[in-house]
Amino acid sequence: MSNVDTADRSIDHLYPEFRPRVTAILADMDEWCKANWPGHKSTISESYRTQARQDWLYAQGRTRPGDIVTWTLHSSHSSGLAADIVGDAGNGPTWNCPDTFWEALTRSAHAHGMQRIMDYSDRLTCHTFNGPLTTTPRTMPRRRGSNSKPGTR
């Protein structure tokens, strides 16, 4: 279906119950862009991730050259429960978004019962959403210890 070096960006490959939430967040963010960041919209940079791709990403910076991009072999992406939402100026995903974009993304995620998780180091963006669909962010367990380390999840 897809190669390990290619991100799947299709919303249709996410867990069914997760899809409407992602759709709602994208709609919120497009609305926000219209008012605050003209010429931009939001987009999914990655949705479902095969375990083979997760393994491949994990190898980067460890057994394969490059910077480390993930801290886990067990990503929510591989369950179809994470979507990386970023900006788009019309030519594809960009992580070069104003801080206010990410703040709005956090608010929208919470409004739709999702969590926002840092994917890379804190200098970069936070763009992953996941979380148990049957609980609210308020009751979700806090990530601590090694799980609190920023990384692609």
Place of tokens 């990386």: 84
What is the C-alpha to C-alpha distance for residues 73 and 81, in angstroms, rounded to an integer?
Answer: 15
**Is 8 among the residues that bind Zn ion (CB under 5 A)?**
no
Q: Which of 33, 119, 125, 129 binds Zn ion (CB under 5 A)?
A: 119
Q: Does 54 bind Zn ion (CB under 5 A)?
A: no
From 5-13, 22-30, 82-90, 136-144, give the range in contact with Zn ion by CB under 5 A: 82-90
- Applying CB under 5 A, does 84 fall inside the site for Zn ion? yes
- Contact predicate 82/129, CB 8 Å: yes
- DSSP tag of 60: B
Q: Is 143 left (phi over 0), alpha (psi -120 to 50) or beta?
A: beta
Q: Is 47 in the site for Zn ion (CB under 5 A)?
A: no
Pick the closer one to Zn ion by CB: 28 or 84: 84
Q: Extract the tokens encoding 104.
A: 């709005």
Residues engaged in binding Zn ion (CB under 5 A): 84, 119, 128
